[in-house]
């Protein structure tokens, strides 16, 4: 949609056309709801993240054309989890639960690019290159201030959905965000294995922080959690030194690596809200909760936010879309899933980040037990496939 011709009022205004906002916008368009997505970007972002997505997420994206025979997606056939310096290890396999893949890895920029393309294709109403600069919420509607390529504009909406990653939250007096910094940074890098990865992902808990290797095309995307000082040191290493350090942590598990691409550091924090709804507003995706990437759950959870909200709004009369009762119903529907995944992810950091030698043995025993007890292991694998609900 050309911003010059923006409507004066919409039933639902979605701030942010990232993967989560785009899924919601396309689902609401299918349901015939008068919605508008407002996205600051016009082109695909340069973003080094690779996202591990569950089957359920791929299905939800596929329903609106955001997933298909996607050449940029790499299937995960096995996940190997181990703790350095102990015998603790387990392996989850797709064949064990009768599926072709445990999940998929897709570059963030490919998914965000596809989201932009689908929005540009005109299936859902969208204002691209348009930034929401403020939201005033009144009793019966909200007024949004926009910076468009054609100047400043305003429009009103019965309901505002924040899918902006949390950028606008500070302006909401009835929404309280809690930030728990982890004093950790994620180092992201593309790293090429000596031998084909065969779709095997690795999660390795080393003494100085966990490392994840996600199969991504012919390469791996490395996500290495470090203290801020550790991250600074690793980012400054030569390529050869960096490869040597990663190889040492995967000794005995992976033959080696031939090259590493550009490295980027990412500060990590847990951000949660007292409530994911406020007056005439709902927060979804990273605006509702920002998690540590260790378990690869953030986007999977955000896509379930969008799916649940789309299902609910599709059966809600237009006059009730922004009403407190509708929003309370949404918050109730999401509480359990979001709470569980947030606690699981945060707990994993506390559990594996503790240097106590007794805990190290307990962790090792836990991984071995998971490896030995078939039903437990298969149950865990199914949770990965269908979402950690
Ligand atoms: C290192 C790392 C690894 C990760 N790995 C995984 C993984 O393996 N699996 C997984 O499930 N999750 C993972 N995540 C989490 C995942 O990246 C996020 O959960 C996901 O990107 C959130 O999507 P979103 O659409 O809510 O927000 P975003 O992706 O942040 O999109 C927000 C959109 O809103 C737009 N916007 C912002 N402000 C405005 C405004 N004022 N006006 C208009 N538009 C605006 C932006 O341009 C953007 O397009 C990882 C995160 C990190 C940091």
Q: Tell me yes or no: is domain 3-52+109-178+271-348 CATH 3.50.50.60.
A: yes
Residue 11 Cα to ligand 1 middle (Å): 24
Q: How confident is the model at residue 2 (pLDDT cuts 50, 70, 90)?
A: very low
Answer for the pair 103, 13: CB distance below 8 angstroms, yes or no: no
Q: Whose Cα sits closest to atom 31 in ligand 1?
A: 18
b/e code 314-336 from CB counts within 10 Å (16+ = b): eebeeeebbbeebbeebbebbee
Nearest-angstrom CA–CA distance, 202 and 214: 7
Residue 108 Cα to ligand 1 middle (Å): 8
Residue 164 Cα to ligand 1 middle (Å): 8
Answer for the pair 125, 1: CB distance below 8 angstroms, yes or no: yes
Answer for the pair 151, 3: CB distance below 8 angstroms, yes or no: no
Highest mean pLDDT among 3-17, 65-79, 139-153, 364-378: 139-153
Q: CA 240, 241, 246: angle at the middle one, nearest 5?
A: 100
Residue 49 Cα to ligand 1 middle (Å): 10
Residue 168 pLDDT > 90, yes or no? yes
Best residue among 111, 155, 287, 299 to mutate for probing ligand 1's pocket (most ligand atoms within 8 Å of CB) is 299
The half-sphere exposure of 247 on its side-chain side, counting CA atoms within 13 A, is: 15
What number of H helices and E strands is found in the chain?
9, 19
Q: DSSP letter for 184, please.
A: E
Answer for the pair 37, 179: CB distance below 8 angstroms, yes or no: no
Best residue among 49, 60, 153 to mutate for probing ligand 1's pocket (most ligand atoms within 8 Å of CB) is 49
User: Measured in Å, how far apart are the chain's first and last C-alpha atoms?
Assistant: 37
Residue 198 Cα to ligand 1 middle (Å): 28
Nearest partner of 225 among 213, 243, 237, judged by Cα: 213
pTM of the predicted protein model = 0.93
- Which atom of ligand 1 sits closest to the CA of residue 163? 26
Best residue among 25, 51, 144, 273 to mutate for probing ligand 1's pocket (most ligand atoms within 8 Å of CB) is 51
Q: What are phi and psi of 180, to 5 degrees?
A: -115, 100
How many residues are present in the chain?
Answer: 389
Q: At which residue do the structure tokens 């307990």 appear?
A: 362
Q: Kindly state the average pLDDT of the residues 125-150.
A: 96
3-state secondary structure of 260: strand
- The CATH superfamily label for domain 73-102+182-269+355-386 reads D-Amino Acid Oxidase, subunit A, domain 2 (3.30.9.10)
Answer for the pair 69, 61: CB distance below 8 angstroms, yes or no: no
pLDDT, mean over the chain: 89
Q: Whose Cα sits closest to atom 4 in ligand 1?
A: 293
Nearest partner of 65 among 8, 117, 100, judged by Cα: 117
Q: Where are the domains of the chain?
A: 3-52+109-178+271-348, 73-102+182-269+355-386
pLDDT tens digits, one per residue of 353-381: 666 666 666 666 666 666 667 676 667 66
Residue 85 Cα to ligand 1 middle (Å): 35
pLDDT, position 97? 76
pLDDT, position 352? 63
pLDDT: which is higher, 373 or 205: 205
pLDDT tens digits, one per residue of 181-195: 998 999 999 999 999
For residue 176, count other CB atoms closer than 10 A to its CB: 12
pLDDT tens digits, one per residue of 261-311: 999 999 999 999 999 999 999 999 999 999 998 888 999 999 999 999 999
CA 341 to chain centre: 12
For residue 76, count other CB atoms closer than 10 A to its CB: 25
Q: How confident is the model at residue 53 (pLDDT cuts 50, 70, 90)?
A: very high
Q: Kindly state the average pLDDT of the residues 4-14.
A: 91
Which residues 6+ apart lie within 8 Å of 26 measured at CB? 64, 65, 66, 118, 119, 123, 124
Which residues 6+ apart lie within 8 Å of 357 measured at CB? none
Pocket around ligand 1 at a 6 A CB cut-off? 15-21, 38-41, 49, 51-52, 131-132, 163-165, 167-168, 186, 188, 223, 266, 285-286, 293, 296-300, 302
Q: How confident is the model at residue 338 (pLDDT cuts 50, 70, 90)?
A: very high
């Amino acid at each position: 949609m050309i911003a010059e011709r923006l409507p004066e009022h919409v039933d639902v205004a979605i701030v942010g056309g990232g993967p989560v906002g785009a899924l919601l916008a396309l689902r609401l368009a299918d349901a015939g709801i008068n919605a508008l997505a407002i996205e600051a970007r016009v082109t695909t972002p340069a973003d080094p993240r690779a996202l591990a997505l569950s089957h359920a997420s791929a299905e939800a994206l596929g329903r609106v054309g955001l997933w298909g025979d996607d050449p940029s997606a790499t299937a995960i056939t096995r996940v190997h989890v181990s703790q350095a310096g102990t015998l603790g290890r387990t392996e989850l396999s797709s064949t064990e639960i009768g599926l072709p893949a445990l999940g998929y890895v897709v570059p963030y920029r490919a998914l965000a690019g596809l989201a932009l393309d689908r929005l540009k294709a005109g299936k859902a109403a969208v204002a691209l290159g348009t930034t929401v600069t403020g939201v005033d919420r009144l009793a019966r509607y909200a007024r949004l201030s926009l910076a468009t390529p054609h100047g400043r504009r305003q429009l009103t909406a019965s309901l505002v959905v924040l899918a902006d990653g949390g950028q606008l939250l500070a302006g909401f007096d009835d929404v309280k965000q809690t930030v728990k910094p982890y004093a950790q940074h994620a180092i992201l890098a593309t790293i090429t294995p000596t031998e084909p990865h065969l779709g095997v992902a690795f999660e390795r808990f080393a003494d100085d922080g966990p490392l994840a290797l996600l199969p991504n095309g012919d390469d791996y995307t490395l996500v290495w959690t470090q203290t801020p000082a550790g991250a600074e040191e690793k980012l400054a290493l030569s390529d050869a030194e960096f490869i040597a350090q990663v190889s040492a942590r995967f000794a005995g598990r992976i033959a080696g690596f031939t090259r590493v691409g550009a490295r980027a550091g990412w500060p990590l924090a847990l951000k949660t809200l007292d409530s994911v709804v406020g007056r005439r507003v709902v927060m979804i995706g990273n605006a509702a909760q920002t998690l540590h990437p260790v378990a690869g759950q953030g986007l999977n959870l955000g896509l379930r936010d969008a799916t649940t909200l789309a299902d609910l709004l599709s059966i809600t009369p237009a006059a009730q879309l922004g009403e407190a009762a509708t929003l309370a119903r949404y918050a109730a529907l999401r509480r359990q899933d979001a709470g569980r995944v947030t606690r699981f992810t945060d707990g994993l950091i506390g559990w594996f980040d503790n240097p106590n030698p007794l805990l190290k043995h307990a962790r090792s025993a836990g991984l071995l037990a998971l490896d030995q007890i078939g039903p437990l292991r298969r149950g865990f694998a199914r949770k990965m496939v269908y979402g950690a609900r």
